[in-house]
Structure 1
Amino acid sequence: MLLIDFEWNRGYDANPLDEILQIGAVRVERLGGPIQDTFNVYIRPRVHKSFSPGARELPELSRSKASEIDFASALESFLDWCQGETEFAAWGNDDFRVLKRNCDYWGLPVPLLHQAYDLQRAFGYMVGAEGQQVALWRAVAYCGIPDTFTFHNALNDTVYTAILSEWLSEESLHFDPKQAPPPKKLPQFAQEPFPPQPRFRVGPLPTPESILDTRIARRPACPLCGEKFWVQQWQSAPGRQYFSTFCCPEHGRFLCRLTLTPLEDGTWRGRMAVPAITPDLLETYRAALNGDPYFCKSSNRKRRKRRWHAHRARIGSAM
């Protein structure tokens, strides 16, 4: 299987082509498996006279501008590297669309994609955010993966995607939002019994939102193997209860519950647990699905920016 990523210059002028500036790819034997080989090529822009705001932010844009390789040559090298592989995956489906449009523009045959997996959609399913587009940097932060490489570099992003693929199940790869059950229909939970799980105290913290956003509340563990997963959103139910689900690739989907309690000093405390599924619990969860979800917030990106600026400052002082 090949994991691919493209960086492109979005077309806002008379020509709407999103011109590919970089092709990055990694080869894996299976999703979640080790990287066996990599491919990377920078492509000289030839279509647009200026760069879109997103393209100007690309960390390796100068390497594309300095490249002598055109899209046709880059595609030929990429297809040689693919060695006839027809099973592909990418973080989102825009890459497949952009590849086809660039091939059509230059009059080149579109590569045969026998299977094209959208790993962004699969990841959203795994973290209970079906139908949402979870940014790659946010998924990396949720899974606790060190942000060692710069984002928005096609090769780096495929490496991150390869690491994230370990969190995906076969069920998630084939999830289709168009065929998904209505939001109020309950998901299928794991049927295997498990021993009573400990309840984790959260806080006290100043607001209910700070409880919902905190790391300990959003890191439930599979009650059968102990593997930890991330919660991205909560559904509120009567009695200051909040519910979310997570899916263990080995044991299936589970429900987690966070109960909030106001304290006399104005702060809030929470208790998070993974309860056993009962008919009463399912009815409470069904009621929670009627409300609007609360999407958890993360400050990891801001911390990354602060670390990057601090790093730049250290480099400047050293010079």
Structure 2
Amino acid sequence: MNNYIVLDLEWNQSAGGKEDTVEHFPFEIIEIGAVKLDESLQEVGEFRRLIKPKVYTELHEKILEVTHMDEVLLLKEGTDFKVAFQEFLQWCGKDAVYCTWGSMDLTELQRNCSYYGIPNPFPKPLLYYDLQKLYSLLYGDGKDRLSLDLAVFEMGIMEERPFHRALDDAHYTGRIMHKMDFEKVKEYWSTDYYRLPENREEEVYLVFPEYSKYISRPFATKQDAIGDKTVTDLICCKCNRMLRKKIRWFSVNQKFYTALGCCPVHGNVKGKIRLRRSDEGQVYVVKTMKLVGEEEIGEIFKKKEEAKKKRVEKTKVRKQNKKKGAQPLS
């Protein structure tokens, strides 16, 4: 039997800005809130802890404005993070399935654990439900992400409880999960990227109804990542067949790479590579592959031509600059 743990966090940051921010620790958790849902998605328990900040002891003005948190009360009654986290894990119980609104909470929870030297208790890879994404898949275009308060308003489940406090936001998120057609999107897990695969054997390959996702191990440079065959392989998201590329990998902005392949059984497959950086500055790849129709194929060809024009223009500018630099002094 699964315990659905709907989690929300509030965190503080340096009141002095980036100059006073601790490296690899931009946000310090000051409140944990969660509700527990049973298999019928009914709320059966709740958890809340205030956490006394030790690093960023002065609340940032934006945090004060949004949460209306009492700074004096937080410092007086807040619990030590290590204690609060262990109590949270014990409350979650076994077979916990984590659910959040957005993709940051579990990442920051693990980052706080790392800072305080707490062994990471979560499975690897850490799969969870991003209910903000699932809401968009059900009621939007699958890309735009709606804020929690607007989603609550749209679903007609507004209560007198405020927003932007951990337990209240967790409660609202749980109510959305209960009211949405969760079974319809239950297969669309999200993956947390805080702990990356350490080697090729740990690399992640997930298959969803309409697309597949691959998460690579870290590479030292972008060139190393793009030069790896597994990264650039294009595979059918339906039958796992290696595909011949109709359009080889290209990029318009050096952050996203696109390719087009053709499966003899399932048709055209678009590949998209996103390059990301880990906390340690290494590069890893998130690659998605999905079936596409004629309209999207046209967009891919259009973007390829755009990339080609940009390359030609850069080459022209480089040659002109080289020519100017070679001119003798008068």
TM-score scaled to structure 1, two decimals?
Answer: 0.52
Which residue, 146, 151, 159 being the options, matches 2:163?
A: 151
8 Å Cα contact 2:9/2:166 also seen in 1: yes
Amino acid at match of 1:107: G
Amino acid at match of 2:136: G
Structure 1 residues 201-243: Cα deviation after superposition (integer angstroms, max 9, x where no partner): xxxxxxxxxxxxxxxxxxxxxxxxxxxxxxxxxxxxxxxxxxx
Give the drift of 1:132.
1.9
Structure 1 residues 98-134: Cα deviation after superposition (integer angstroms, max 9, x where no partner): 0010000000022325641101100011112312221
8 Å Cα contact 1:17/1:102 also seen in 2: no
Which residue, 14, 27, 39 being the options, matches 1:18?
A: 27
Equivalent in the alignment of 2:314? none
Q: Secondary structure at the match of 1:72?
A: helix
Q: Secondary structure at the match of 1:164?
A: helix
Is 2:136 the partner of 1:124? yes
Q: Secondary structure at the match of 2:68?
A: coil
Equivalent in the alignment of 1:104? 114
Is 2:55 the partner of 1:47? yes
8 Å Cα contact 1:9/1:54 also seen in 2: no
- Higher radius of gyration, 1 or 2: 2
Structure 2 unaligned segments of length 5 or more: list them: 191-205, 212-294, 300-330
Equivalent in the alignment of 1:59? 68
Amino acid at match of 1:23: I
- CA distance change for structure 1 residues 111 and 64 in 2, over 3 Å: closer, same or farther? farther
Give the drift of 1:163.
0.7
Structure 1 residues 81-114: Cα deviation after superposition (integer angstroms, max 9, x where no partner): 1122331111111101100100000000223256
Which residue, 174, 182, 187 being the options, matches 1:169?
A: 182
Equivalent in the alignment of 1:5? 8
Which residue, 77, 81, 87 being the options, matches 2:87?
A: 77
Structure 1 unaligned segments of length 5 or more: list them: 182-285, 291-319
Partner Cα distance (1:169, 1:69) in 2: 35
Give the drift of 1:75.
0.6
8 Å Cα contact 1:124/1:130 also seen in 2: yes
Amino acid at match of 2:183: E
Equivalent in the alignment of 1:28? 37
Give the drift of 1:79.
1.2
- CA distance change for structure 1 residues 105 and 168 in 2, over 3 Å: closer, same or farther? farther
Amino acid at match of 1:25: A
Identity of aligned residues (%): 28
Structure 1 residues 7-52: Cα deviation after superposition (integer angstroms, max 9, x where no partner): 001344231431000001111113x622111110000111114323
8 Å Cα contact 1:3/1:25 also seen in 2: yes
Which gives a bigger RCO, structure 1 or 2 (Cα 8 Å, sep 6+)? 1
Amino acid at match of 1:60: M
Q: Aligned pair count?
A: 185
8 Å Cα contact 2:30/2:53 also seen in 1: yes
Q: Secondary structure at the match of 2:77?
A: coil
Q: Secondary structure at the match of 1:66?
A: helix
8 Å Cα contact 1:86/1:112 also seen in 2: no
Equivalent in the alignment of 1:266? none
Amino acid at match of 2:182: S
Partner Cα distance (1:168, 1:117) in 2: 14
Give the drift of 1:176.
7.3
Structural RMSD (CA): 2.8
Partner Cα distance (1:61, 1:104) in 2: 27
- CA distance change for structure 1 residues 61 and 117 in 2, over 3 Å: closer, same or farther? farther
Structure 1 residues 133-182: Cα deviation after superposition (integer angstroms, max 9, x where no partner): 2110010011111232110111111110111012133342444799867x
Give the drift of 1:76.
1.2
